[in-house]
Amino acid sequence: MNIKLSDHFTYKKLMRFTLPSIAMMIFTSIYGIVDGYFVSNFVGKTPFAAVNLVWPLIMMLATVGFIFGTGGTAIVAKTMGEGDREKANHHFSLFVYVTFALSVVLSVCGFIFMRPIASLLGAEGELLECAVVYARIILATLPFYALQLLFQSFFVTAEKPQLGLIVTISSGVTNMVFDALFVLLLPTHLKLVGAAWATSLSQVVGGAVPIVYFACKNKSLLRLGKTRFDGHAVLKATTNGSSEFMSNVSMSLVGMLYNIQLMKYAGENGVAAYGVMMYVSMIFSGTFIGYSIGTAPVIGFHFGAQNKKELKSLLRKSLILMLVFGIIMAGASQLLAWPLAQIFVGYDDALSTLTTEGFRIFGLSFAFMGFAIFFSGFFTALSDGLTSAAISFLRTLVFQISAVMLLPLIFGINGVWISIVVAEAMAMTFGLIFTKLKQKRFGY
C-alpha cells in the first residue's frame, strides 16, 4: 500500500516512508567509498590525498542542487498541501531549470580557477597536478551532479522515494563498474583520470534519468514542463534552502580548513587519514540526511494543511529516532575503526594507526550529529529558512572553525578529531533551544 503525504505517521510508517531516502543517501556514500578505495589502493596515497583535498570545493559548487532541492521541496509540498497541484508543478519545473543554469556557470568558473585554488589549499608538485586533473574532469559533469542532489528531495515529494533509490543505485553501480574497469585496466598514469571519469559518468546517470522521467507522462505527483520565471519563488526557495547552502558550503570550507590544519600537524598522512574518516562518516551522516530528506515533504505538507497535531507527533518521533540512531552509530564507530583503516590504508602502518586512533575520537560525534541535521531540515520544511540557516551556520562555521583552530593548540593532532565532537554537541544544544523558542509560532 502506498504511503501518502497526508497520512498519519506511526513509527512504522515513518520508517517505511523514509527508508528509501535513507538507503539512497547510504548507497550514495557507499559508491563514494568504493571510489576512494580504488584510488587509495590502486592509484596511490598522493592521488588519494589530492581527491580529498579538492572534493570539498566540488561539493560547495554542487550545493546549488541542495538549495533548490530542499528549499524548493518546502514550497512545492506546502503548495500541494494547500490544494494547488498545478502551481506546485510550475514551481518544480522552475527550480529544475534554475539549478541547471546556475550549475553550468559554477562549473565553468571552477574549471578556470581550480589550479590557483588547489595551490591556495597547500597543494604543490604531484599533489597539485593530481588535484587539478581530477577536479576538472568532475566539474565537466557538475550540472548533472547538482540535478542529482535536487531530485533526491523531489522524488520524495512526488511520492516516489523508491524510484529515487533505484536511480541512485543505478548511478552507484555505474561508478563502481567503471572504477573497476578504468582503475584496474588503464596504465598507471591514467588511473586517476579513469577514476574521475567513472564518477562523472555516474553523475550523468543520476541527473539525466530523472529529467527523462519527470519530463514524460508519469504516475507521480510532479511533472516537468513549461513554466515562467518567478523571482519571488526563486528567492523563497533560496531562503528556505539557505540552511543547506550554509551547511554544505560551510562544511566544504571547514573541510578545507581541516586539511590545512592536518597538513600543518601531520602532513600528507593527516589529509589521507581525514579522507578515510570523511568517506566512512558519509554513511553515518547519510542516514540522518536521508531521514531529513524523507520527512521534509511530510512536514511541509502538514504545515500547509495546518495539521499541528501531526507536526508535533512527527517532531517527537523524529527526536527519539535521532537519539537511537546516534547511540548505535557512535558505538559502531568504535568497533569499526581498525578494520576500516585496514581496508583503505592498510598498506601503510603509520597511516593506518593514525586513522584508527583519529576515527575512534571522531566517531563520538555521531551521537549528536543527527539532531542538528534534523533540526535544520525541520525548519526548512516549515519555510523558516532563517532559523534553519542559523543552526547550520553555528554548527558548521562557528563551532567547528572555533574548535579546529583552538583545540589542536592544546591537544595537537587529536585536537583536530575532538573538534568535530565538540561542534556537534554544541549544535545539538542550540538546535533544541531554537525548537523550544519556535514552539508557539508553529504550534508543534
Query: Which tens digit of pLDDT belongs to each residue from 324-341?
Result: 999 999 999 899 888 888
Task: Identify the pLDDT of residue 245.
Answer: 67
Mean pLDDT score of the chain: 85
How many other CB atoms are there within 10 angstroms of residue 35's CB atom?
A: 24
Predicted confidence (pLDDT) per residue in 341-370, tens digit? 887 777 778 888 888 888 899 899 999 999
Weakest-pLDDT range from 69-73, 155-159, 196-200, 237-241: 237-241
Where does the pLDDT of residue 243 fall: very low under 50, low under 70, confident under 90, or very high at 90 and above? low
Integer Cα distance of 118 and 114 in angstroms? 6
Q: Where are the domains of the chain?
A: 11-442
Where does the pLDDT of residue 433 fall: very low under 50, low under 70, confident under 90, or very high at 90 and above? very high
For range 84-110, the mean pLDDT: 92
Q: Which of 177, 193, 93 is nearest to 133 (CA)?
A: 193
Predicted confidence (pLDDT) per residue in 126-171, tens digit? 889 999 999 999 999 999 999 998 998 888 888 887 888 899 889 9
For residue 345 the three cell numbers come to: 590504508
Task: Identify the pLDDT of residue 426.
Answer: 94
* Whole-prediction pTM: 0.69
Q: Which of 171, 153, 155 is nearest to 163 (CA)?
A: 155
Q: What percent of the chain is modeled with pLDDT above 90?
A: 28
Contact between 161 and 21 (Cβ < 8 Å): yes
Residue 16 pLDDT > 70, yes or no?
yes
Could you write out the DSSP letters of every residue in 36-92? HHHIIIII-HHHHHHHHHHHHHHHHHHHHHHHHHHHHHHHHHHHHHTT-HHHHHHHH
Task: Identify the pLDDT of residue 251.
Answer: 67
Residue with the three cell numbers 578556470 = 112
Residue 1 pLDDT > 60, yes or no?
no
Residue 383 pLDDT > 90, yes or no?
no
